Amino acid sequence: MKKLFFVLAAVLFTTLWPNTAAIAQEPAENILIETASPPAITIKGKVSNSGAKKDSISSSVLKHFKKTFQYARDVKWMPLKDGYMATFESDDFVERVYYHSSGNLCGTLKGYSADRLPDAIIEMIKKAYPKHSIVYADEVEVTTVPGAITYFVHVQLNQDLKIVRICEEDMDVFFDSEKSVNRF
């Protein structure tokens, strides 16, 4: 089960990571979506500039998002191959929420500084890498394994950068800049 979760977390972390920019919006009635090539469009299908194909975010996605992430402000939406991603900042962290095109929540990815990590995770990292400093952390939660969280903790010592993956009591090196360990 843990291996399955590691695979799902890695897939969510690497394949859904955005490579293009999105435009911010406010009210749900006028959500703008932009990818690198097609022009922006609104939730009601109005095209903001010519040439865009019609696309929209399902009302079930918007309803779920609004109910679940009430604290979200300045939300940016991006269409993905099989769904949508919403990005927003809140309380000193960046959060990405992934939805399948059917409207189901796939998972979340939060990025934040070391001081927001749970103490148990910090202790694990300091025990394994006592000379490294924690630079940043990503927290991944997927809906297929409810309640299980995977942390991708970025640690650094001089020019050596590692990304350490932690799920429950399991810990491994996901990326190491000094070695050929790169699971992206």
In tens, the pLDDT along 9-36 reads 444 444 344 433 333 333 433 344 443 3
In tens, the pLDDT along 79-118 reads 888 899 999 988 788 999 999 988 899 999 999 999 999 9
Q: Is residue 67 part of a domain?
A: yes
Please enumerate, as own/partner, the contacts of 91-96 that have beta carbons within 8 Å and a separation of 24 or more. Answer: 92/116, 95/69, 96/16, 96/18
Q: Is residue 182 part of a domain?
A: no
Which of residues 126 and 46 earns the better pLDDT score?
A: 126
Q: Is residue 181 part of a domain?
A: no
Strands 32-33 and 149-157: unpaired
Mean pLDDT, residues 48-68 taken together:
66
Report the predicted TM-score, pTM, of the whole model to 2 decimal places.
0.68
Structural domains of the chain, count: 1
Q: Give the other-Cβ count within 10 Å of 48's Cβ.
A: 14
Q: Which domain covers residue 126, as residue numbers? A: 2-176
Q: Is residue 11 part of a domain?
A: yes
Mean pLDDT, residues 136-156 taken together:
92
